[in-house]
Structure 1
Amino acid sequence: MPNALAAETSPYLRQHAENPVDWLPWGPEALERAAREDRPLLVSIGYAACHWCHVMARESFADPDVASVMNDAFVCVKVDREERPDVDALWMDAVQAMTGQGGWPLHVFLTPEQRPIHGGTYFPPAPRDGLPSWRMVLDAVAEAWGARRDELRAELAGIDERLSGAAALRAADELPAPGRLDDAVRDLRGGFDSVHGGWGRREKFPPHATLLLLLQRAAGGGPTADAAAAMARQTLRSMASGGVHDQLGGGFHRYAVDPAWSVPHFEKLLTDNALLVRAYLDGWRLWGDPALRETAERTIAFLLRELRGAEGGFATALDADSADGEGAFYRWTAAEVRAALSPQDAAAAGRWLALDEGGADVLEDRGPRPDDATLGRIRAALLAAREQRPRPALDDQRLAAGNALAIHALAEASAILDRPELLDAAREAASFVRRELTVDGRLRRSWCPRPGPDGTVRARHAAVLEDHGFLLEAAIALFEADGDPADLAWAQELAATIASRFGDPDGAGWFSTADDAEALLVRRKELDDAPVPSGGAATARGLLRLAALTGEHAHVAAAEGWLRLAAPLAARAPQAVAASLLALDERHRPAREVAIVGPAPERGALVAVVRERPRPGVVLAMGDGADDRGVALLEGRRPVGGRATAYVCEGFACRAPVTDPGELRALLDA
């Protein structure tokens, strides 16, 4: 008989609905049962595309004997980290503090008062590689609770503050100096893999926040610009040529299990790919490297083809597994490649992909590339053959944060690549968020195409700070793409909600949850960028850009509060807070406001100058010059001599207007 998860909309929770475990979703029923029966909570956290979550489910949660032990000793709770990042972050922090490591699946045993007793990640069905079996862990925690629960409660009574994250920190008195950014580049250089790019000796994750920071430092000049550029370019090129990049369908897998980016861990996430689109486009604009542009465009094509829903929103992830096993959808034998191609194309493919005759491989761009026509035929034929295989499962829930990152990427890509259809896709996704993920004026976290427990509700769970912060940046990207003042108004609405619902009246920065959200053991602030840029960092950068567009200095002060909070960690571990350092870089550059007015076709040449390369600190507003439409930066700006005109301003004090693209370039490059 299905358990309580059968009534949930989350694909991950529904995957466990047939387990013999008496799973409950996180919520009042589980917490009240634990308190009433004085039993520990066993909280298991994962997500639908997580390979090792599937493995542990097959090995342990499907076993009736193991399930019986779990049901007898614990109140068992399943959490989808995509739906409840607040719950995940709290218990991830606890497990990392206890064990020194984290990841998914994540398991934590809690007292009925929600204080952590023990935790870990994956546990095998039998002892292996130094890990105890899952049954051993269950028995040990149950025995400890039965023998000394009062002692455990006393030991854990003071743990709350230690789990508050950055909420327990005091902000620095001063903003980190500009030199801290150069120090961060030097620190990153110390751990950089000069052979393969990236950071990490074994596993390597695409470092999107770090790449965006390095690209901005490279574009902005300064003593470490060359070092930043070298690290960013090598990492972008290495990832693009490796197996972590889908050489056929575009897009990137979650991470590589080797230093050379060759062997991926196969899930493909919306968040990773949306962030990498921005990084690859900035790299292309900096260096004119066509391989970087191609990678960005193929990643965009993947997002639109495989993750975009009919309603305009974007799904969360493709699974690592298919019916044929982990990664089977993406692996090829040399014989399978030859069977799908003509002899001539097979020979070219063999040289390009450096195929090994010994087994099934992930395809890599490691040899001489065929000409464009041959390459197109090879990719098309292999993609057609791959589509005959069992596809990986789709986590089809739409998350506000993930959709915000997709909107941001598509809006920027449309402007940079002059592809209006991408802006159309971004606007459809934004309309979806505002229509389906907003209930009674408040943003929700997740939406599923299946009805919820009451048969109608699809938008569920309170949105967290990252949802609002990413949407703030996305709304500004939409505004800068075509100048629609409705987008700027949306950004101002989001900023007001963040200030009123997430602000800390007694300290700096923002809490990760709203003031009226479900109360957990503690209310946290999240500084680090794992697994996506922190919501606070996105908010800080969005507010700085919003201030440049509106002249509202209160936004600058709020952003500075976050940056002062991040200051100590920025000095110790810059890669952990790269997104906050990106916002700090924005703060230390004089904001330059560019207003371009005139009919849309005529102003195109001037707009193209602003977008031709990354220009840190520059914001853009545009209009026809007849009506400022409520945009402060456009007030009083009129075309000169009937020609499209650009005004370059600092603090809303503008230089003499220019009508020639070359003159505008000289002003911006000065």
Structure 2
Amino acid sequence: MNRLAQSKSPYLRQHAENPVDWYPWGDEALERARREDRPILLSVGYSACHWCHVMAHESFEDAETAALMNAHFINIKVDREERPDIDEIYQKVVLLMGQGGGWPLTVFLTPDHRPFYGGTYFPPVPSYGRPSFRQLLLALVDLWKTRRADVEGQAEQLLEGIRELSAGGQDGEGALVGPEPLAAAAHELVARIDPEWGGFGRQPKFPNATCLEVLMLQNRFDGTGSDELLLTLEKMWRGGIYDHLRGGFARYAVDRVWLVPHFEKMLYDNALLLGLYADASLRWPEREFLRRVVRETVTYLEADMRGPAGTFYAATDADSEGVEGKYFCWTPAQLEEVLGSRDDAAFFAAVYGVDPRGNFEHGMSILHLAQPLAQIADALGMTAAALEARLAPLRAKLLAARYQRVPPLRDDKILTA
């Protein structure tokens, strides 16, 4: 056990048995770095972060890698939900270096905690166009020992860049005064939305509720982006990124079509998306699926994420029993076993895309709606109301059975902002 065993953070406690000599962020670690004149290896993540788990398993649980870290660095672990202030500062480092940012965040600091190098996930062997984590450690050790002036110069440049980013807009320049900046931003966002599947970019694809809310604001004024907004909101709901049994959204999809999520579910993502879908349901009351997402997401948050005091938990993990998505996915045989009827199982499988070959790993299928419900109802010669009347009890049975499975880890810390 290392020092993280005494932490209040579930994420930090996940690393308590690493062979790495981890410190939490605090005076003890920072003072030791200054006293021994050793660089700091700062690793920032959160409990439901898939790639944080991957890097932990590949590197932080590896004795040889841990020995390198312990011999040359003061190693500090941070839960980005517990210390968003620290995360915000050092995310700017990787942005200044031209990288995308994200988690796990890996940043190397001087003993007075000025950053001089950073990145996100580093693999155990060279891949994804990145060096292995061990190669990186050895290169930075050599840089620290033989080219200290270069390290100091890089740290000063990055620090100045952070200062400029932090000062941006504080003098009133660039403030959103009047309607023109909002309109310009909205039109730029419309141009960036995937015209076939909605959302921004190709893959991975994040819901990006903040950008969609900007577009929603402008839409109220002049109708900008109605088609693009509705396309995005419907594709996200019909995709596997949405939990069709319980409600709520996974963090992001690994593909362009919203089918395969990383299955972690975050409180703040769902809070933002809940507001977005609620706004949209008022804007387009004829689109019933928008109200449905609101109802089901509220039910999910109350059922799975609300504590006895009425506060809400932070996140749930992607993995259960060591398998990503196992808790959420189904096979045709599992449907038949739970529903007790071959006809009901085949009907449900046809609507929600459960295939004998599977659409995910290990022959499992992620529930999704490949077609709009109205289109499915027409094909079956049913009304949409009759289709939903048959599906609702089947979903309820499957949800009850899912609650009997081993659930993903829940990060039960309480977020107040």
Q: TM-score, normalised by structure 1?
A: 0.57
Structure 2 counterpart of 1:327, which letter? Answer: G
Equivalent residue letter for 2:91: M
- Counterpart among 374, 384, 392 of residue 408 in structure 2: 392
Using the TM superposition, give the Cα deviation of residue 210 of structure 1 relative to its aligned residue in structure 2, in angstroms.
Answer: 2.3
Counterpart position of 1:314: 312
Partner of 1:338: 336
Q: Deviations over 1:381-417 (max 9, x none)?
A: 111222222210001100111xxxxxxxxxxxxxxxx
Cα distance, 1:30–1:325 mapped onto 2, change above 3 Å: same
1:27-426 equivalence runs, <5 A: 27-164=26-163, 165-169=165-169, 170-172=171-173, 176-219=177-220, 221-222=221-222, 225=223, 227-288=224-285, 289-341=287-339, 342-359=341-358, 360-367=364-371, 368=376, 371-401=387-417
Distance change (3 Å), C-alpha of 1:235 and 1:263: same
Q: How many residues end up aligned between the 2 structures?
A: 396
Answer whether contact 2:332 2:345 (CA < 8 A) is retained. no
Letter in 2 for 1:372: E
Cα pair distance change 1:383/1:174, threshold 3 Å: closer
Distance 1:74 1:148, change over 3 A: same
Tell which structure's C-alpha radius of gyration is larger.
1
Q: Secondary structure at the match of 2:43?
A: strand
Could you give the per-residue CA deviations for residues 527-574 of structure 1, whole angstroms, max 9, x where no partner exists? xxxxxxxxxxxxxxxxxxxxxxxxxxxxxxxxxxxxxxxxxxxxxxxx
CA displacement at 1:366 relative to structure 2: 2.3
* 1:558-604 alpha-carbon deviations (Å, 9 max, x no partner): xxxxxxxxxxxxxxxxxxxxxxxxxxxxxxxxxxxxxxxxxxxxxxx
Q: Provide the rounded CA distance (Å) in 2 between the counterparts of 1:306 and 1:173.
A: 41
Evaluate the alpha carbon distance shift between residue 154 and residue 274 of structure 1 in structure 2; reply closer, same or farther with a 3 A threshold.
closer
Instruction: Summarize the Cα distance change of 1:129–1:300 in structure 2 as closer, same or farther, 3 Å threshold.
Output: same
- Contact 1:99/1:119 (<8 A) preserved: no
Paired with 1:85 and 1:269, the residues of 2 have a C-alpha distance of 15
Q: 1:201, CA displacement in angstroms?
A: 1.3
- Does the 8 A contact of 1:49 with 1:395 survive in 2? yes
Q: Could you tell me how far 1:62 is from its partner in structure 2?
A: 1.1
Residue pair 1:99, 1:120 contacting (<8 A) in 2 also: no
Q: Is the 8 A contact 1:161 1:168 kept in 2?
A: no
Residues in 1 aligned to 2:353 and 2:393: alpha-carbon distance in whole angstroms: 18
Aligned residue runs from structure 1 range 447-466, under 5 A: none
Map 1:506-525 to 2 at 5 A. none
The 1:22–1:307 alpha-carbon spacing in structure 2 relative to 1, beyond 3 Å, is same
Q: Deviations over 1:341-374 (max 9, x none)?
A: 2223213212211322212121002242562332
Residue 263 (structure 1) shift = 0.9
CA RMSD of aligned residues (A): 1.7
Q: In the alignment, is the contact (CA less than 8 A) between 2:338 and 2:401 conserved in 1?
A: yes
Runs of 4+ in 1 over 6 A off after TM superposition: none
- Counterparts of 2:158 and 2:322, CA distance in 1: 45
Q: Which runs of 5+ in 2 are unaligned?
A: 359-363, 378-385
* 1:255 Cα deviation from its structure 2 partner: 0.6
TM-score (norm 2): 0.91
Using the alignment, how far apart are the partners of 2:181 and 2:280 within structure 1? 23
Structure 2 contact 96–161 (Cα < 8 Å) conserved? no
Per the TM alignment, residue 128 of structure 1 is displaced from its structure 2 partner at its CA by: 2.2
1:298–1:16 Cα change, 3 Å: same
Alpha carbons 1:46, 1:81 under 8 Å: kept: yes
Report the identity percentage: 46
Aligned partners of 1:116 and 1:156 also within 8 Å: yes
Structure 1 counterpart of 2:350, one-letter code = R
Amino acid at match of 2:134: R
Q: Is the 8 A contact 2:3 2:22 kept in 1?
A: yes
- 1:630 aligns to what? none
Give the 3-state SS of the residue equivalent to 2:308 in structure 1. Answer: coil
- CA-to-aligned-CA distance 1:629-658 (integer Å, 9 cap, x gap): xxxxxxxxxxxxxxxxxxxxxxxxxxxxxx
CA distance in 1, matches of 2:197, 2:174: 40
- For structure 1, list consecutive stretches of 5 or more residues without a partner in the other structure: 402-670
Q: Distance in 2 between matches of 1:96 and 1:188?
A: 21
Q: Distance in 1 between matches of 2:275 and 2:157?
A: 43
Question: Contact 2:96–2:158 at 8 Å: present in 1 too?
Answer: no
Counterpart code for 2:144: W
Q: CA deviation at 1:45?
A: 0.6
